[in-house]
Amino acid sequence: MRGALLSGSDLCYEGRMKTWKRVLIGAMVLGSAVGCRRLMGGSPTPSTEDEKTLYALGMLLGRNLGTFNLTSSELDLVKGGLTDMVMKRPHLVDLDKYGPKVDALARARAQAHVAVEKAQAKTFLENAARESGAVQTPSGLVFRSTTPGTGASPGATDRVTVQYEGKLVDGTVFDSSRKRGQPATFPLNGVIKCWTEGVGKMKVGEKATLTCPSDIAYGDGGRPPTIPGGATLIFDVELVKIEAPPPPPTPGAQPPGMSMGGPHGQPMQLGQSHGQPLQLRASSPAIQPQQLQLKPPK
């Protein structure tokens, strides 16, 4: 399970001026006068289905702006550009000149925030390691069993079925199999190192909390906009079942998928780092639970 988080989408920001320009214009044209008044602070609470959908459009745009770590005054500039574009007002800057700079600004802001994330995580990890029953391993993982299990523990090549919830250190839930109403199954050696190590310590029926420093999770790249670079992650995990690894595929046969999957078996993309597309996903936690693939970073 190499690579980044996967999914499908109609609205995407690819960092290149041409695509970024096309996406923003397409997204902003969807904003009616109601949506524009909302951006300027003058609209009522959305009540009709169209108004709620337009509000959701704003949520999608806002979630993907998280990478920029905007101040209040900077957000006002973004609102100004959005409003001028939608309302066909004169532009205050040349989009052909400054559009290509958006991707570089996003990367620079995200990289600058890595140090902030790691500083916050350091104290969090220290506190987690001091909790009753917690054990910190040489990798930095803090493992704390909360409900005992029985039987054997999985080997690295076994397939495991788990229920889990993933949170950031501020308590934000970024993924949850429980909210989706179905457990996830995957090969234990095909996920982030924190999971390979932590779930490998568990027995069937056991519940545990895995506190994962970024070095054994998604590293400095993170998985924007959902997981910031340098983020420490907290997973509450229940090991439901262990299965032996499947036999090797027949030569020439299509190997079975390793994705946790999205609707109708299709993987869901939350976004990629290092200049790859950042997706405007309609799978916001407030709308539909996001599905995270726990792939290790490249």
Q: Which member of 13, 68, 143, 218 is catalytic?
A: 218
d(C-alpha 63, C-alpha 80), whole Å? 18
- Check residue 138 and give its pLDDT: 96
Q: Which member of 13, 143, 186, 235 is catalytic?
A: 235
Examine the residue annotation and report whether 55 is marked as an active-site residue of this protein. no
Contact (Cβ atoms closer than 8 angstroms) between residue 210 and residue 141: yes
Highest mean pLDDT among 63-72, 191-200, 266-275: 191-200
Examine the residue annotation and report whether 164 is marked as an active-site residue of this protein. yes
pLDDT band with cut points at 50, 70 and 90 for residue 289 = very low
Q: How many CB atoms lie within 10 A of CB 134?
A: 15
* 137-167 confidence digits (pLDDT tens): 999 999 999 999 998 899 989 999 999 999 9
Give all domains of the chain, ordered by start, each with its CATH number.
17-99 (no CATH), 114-246+272-280 (3.10.50.40)
Examine the residue annotation and report whether 235 is marked as an active-site residue of this protein. yes
* 81-93 confidence digits (pLDDT tens): 998 988 899 999 9
Average pLDDT score, the chain:
74
* 3-state SS, residue 58: helix
* 6-29 confidence digits (pLDDT tens): 222 322 233 333 444 444 444 444
Q: Which member of 103, 143, 186, 192 is catalytic?
A: 192
d(C-alpha 58, C-alpha 38), whole Å? 9
249: pLDDT strictly greater than 90: no
Structure tokens at 171: 């308590």
Handedness of CA 239, 241, 244, 248 (dihedral sign): negative
Nearest 10 degrees: CA dihedral of 282, 286, 291, 292? 100
Examine the residue annotation and report whether 192 is marked as an active-site residue of this protein. yes
The percent of residues above 90 in pLDDT, for the chain, comes to: 36
What letter would DSSP give residue 68? G
* 3-state SS, residue 154: coil
pLDDT band with cut points at 50, 70 and 90 for residue 229 = confident
Highest mean pLDDT among 178-187, 199-208, 245-254: 199-208
- Check residue 51 and give its pLDDT: 87
* 94-137 confidence digits (pLDDT tens): 989 998 898 888 778 777 777 778 888 888 999 999 999 999 99
Query: Average pLDDT, stretch 168-190?
Result: 92
234: pLDDT strictly greater than 50: yes
Residue bearing the bigger pLDDT, 161 or 227: 161
d(C-alpha 99, C-alpha 107), whole Å? 14
